Structure 1
Amino acid sequence: MAAKLLKKYFLKVTLDVLACTLAFSPCLALYALNKPFRRGFFCNDESLKHPYKDSTVDGTMMIVLAISLGFVMIFLCELLIYYHKKEKQELRQHIPANQHLPYFLMCVYRYFGMYMFGIIIQMTVTVIGKYSIGRLRPHFLSLCNPDYSQLNCTVPGLISDIYVYVESYTCVDEKSRNAVDSRLSFPSGHSSFSTFVAVYLAIYLQARFTWRGAALLKHLCQAALIYGAYYVCLSRVSDNKHHPTDVLAGAFIGCFIAALLQQHIFVTQQQMKTFHRPFRTSSNNKLVRDDVSIEEAQLLSINNSEVS
């Protein structure tokens, strides 16, 4: 039976990794091509003349921290739930003794795996938007530094050249990393990522951490997550990395994807409530289930033939 369970778990993990790889492939392809849509600009557009600044929140550190925080939070929460059920002997009633540890690990895998899948989806959606729209960052002209003497910013009959749209121009270093990045303003990747992390983990805690004695601790963690995402969003505007509308669009993407995935958590939570009757021994000494949800059965990979 153990070998059969391991085979099922291995197949599930393999399929999940394949799904994540396929979901991330458009993002990798766009990064490899590295050719965002080339958008022009209006002469004397003050919104593109802000000075370049380093990011207050480093992107790499943000990703590492978010993944680590998500794993630790989900692991500890599921561990508390596991020991709580074990003390109340709920696991002994519902699950064979040799399935206790796999049950705990599969719960961690389920919620953290969905968390990582959501991060991949969020990043892919954001990157597709960046490379397809090619909106110029607020510091674009500071990095591009085009030769204005070669630009046709004067049109007969116009008192001001602010309404003249320039499409033919050359930056000082067209192929530099910063020059390409300056065309990837919409939507904000930092805002999308941080908002997804905050909303997903906040709703996860709401669904899974149900101990009333620590309700304020749960709400404190949720507030800290929202504060962190809010700070990241504001920093992208103050660092001249994004226009306010870029940040709003990124935050919407993160919230929307997190909300879609969180339906999975609440549905699972509701289905697990039906998992309340114990296993019983039939006349042929086989364990049978009285009222086990389909979702829970899939999670545990238990069926009558396997527990015989």
Structure 2
Amino acid sequence: MEYLDYIDHISEISLRIILYLLFLWIHGHAPFIRHIEEDELWMYRYPSVPSIVPKNVLLIVIIVGPVVMFLIEYFHNRRIEDIVKGMYALSLIYALNAVLTVTLKLLVGRPRPNFFIRCFPDGYGTDIDNCTGEYKSHMDGRKSFPSAHTTFAFSGMFFMTIRMFYLLKIREPIRGKGFRCLLCSFPLIIAILIAVSRTCDYNHHYSDVIAGALMGSFIAYNIYYIYFPKLYEPKYVTET
């Protein structure tokens, strides 16, 4: 490995550490306290129930899925440089997604559908600006937009779908294209199910998950093509 390669790796790793520290710093701040009118309270009176997809399950999905894909790719192509580029791309996707998501949550300060019960655990209260519930819980209740579960699910799964398009040679005239397309769609199906679950357990509004899906996909799409050439470029076309 040449000297410049070492410098490049150090810069890549340093960037992700900086973004992670920035995320932690931003996350430690309180969200914008958005005023809620009494006639709006019906939107935030949904019950507080356990998450259908807990955070630890989400982490397993967005980490284990790509890792399995990288391992299969390596054993098939034996190109460690593509695996390294893929890991750099995915880690940057997650880092940028984390910083942007937490920043928007704090700036927007939109209450969750179950905010009222977070604010008043006993179910009684009118002064929304003076909650009686646990501070951490009702402050988290003001971080509805966008859905972090959705942004991370779509950023990771959309990355997998784009990468699988190349690995399964979707654009080439080959047999079994329908089956290959189904395999490429599977990560996005998982992302959609995770996103929908956030409305079913009353942690997010529909607009939260729609915005999260668009944001996660946009970040994944652009970062992927920074590290990898487009699928239709000559480098990725098999000669016939």
In the alignment, structure 1 segments of 5+ residues that lack a partner are 83-103, 152-165, 277-308
Residue 33 of structure 2 aligns with which residue? 38
Contact 2:49 2:201 in 1 (8 A): yes
Tell me how large the CA RMSD over aligned residues is: 2.4
Residue 71 of structure 1 aligns with which residue? 67
- AA at the equivalent of 1:255: S
Contact 1:191 1:251 in 2 (8 A): yes
Residue 54 of structure 1 aligns with which residue? 50
Q: After TM superposition, list the pairs within 5 Å mapping 1:77-156 onto structure 2.
A: 77-82=73-78, 104-145=79-120, 148=125, 151=127
Residue 39 of structure 1 and its aligned partner are, at CA, apart by 1.4
Per the alignment, in what secondary structure is the counterpart of residue 266 of structure 1? coil
Q: Deviations over 1:222-270 (max 9, x none)?
A: 2211111111111111110001111111111011111212323234873
1:170 to 118, 127, 130: 130
2:22 to 18, 21, 26: 26
Provide the aligned length of Structure 1 versus Structure 2.
231
Per the alignment, in what secondary structure is the counterpart of residue 233 of structure 2? helix
Contact 2:45 2:115 in 1 (8 A): yes
Cα 1:63–1:135, aligned 2, differ >3 Å: closer, same or farther?
A: same
Contact 2:166 2:231 in 1 (8 A): no
Contact 1:77 1:209 in 2 (8 A): no
Separation in 2 of the partners of 1:199 and 1:47?
Answer: 31
- AA at the equivalent of 2:142: R
Separation in 2 of the partners of 1:254 and 1:189?
Answer: 9
Separation in 2 of the partners of 1:54 and 1:259?
Answer: 32
Separation in 2 of the partners of 1:42 and 1:143?
Answer: 17
Separation in 1 of the partners of 2:124 and 2:32?
Answer: 21
Residue 140 of structure 2 aligns with which residue? 181
Residue 174 of structure 1 and its aligned partner are, at CA, apart by 5.2
Residue 129 of structure 1 and its aligned partner are, at CA, apart by 0.3
Separation in 1 of the partners of 2:186 and 2:65?
Answer: 12
Identical positions, percent: 20
Cα 1:210–1:78, aligned 2, differ >3 Å: closer, same or farther?
A: farther
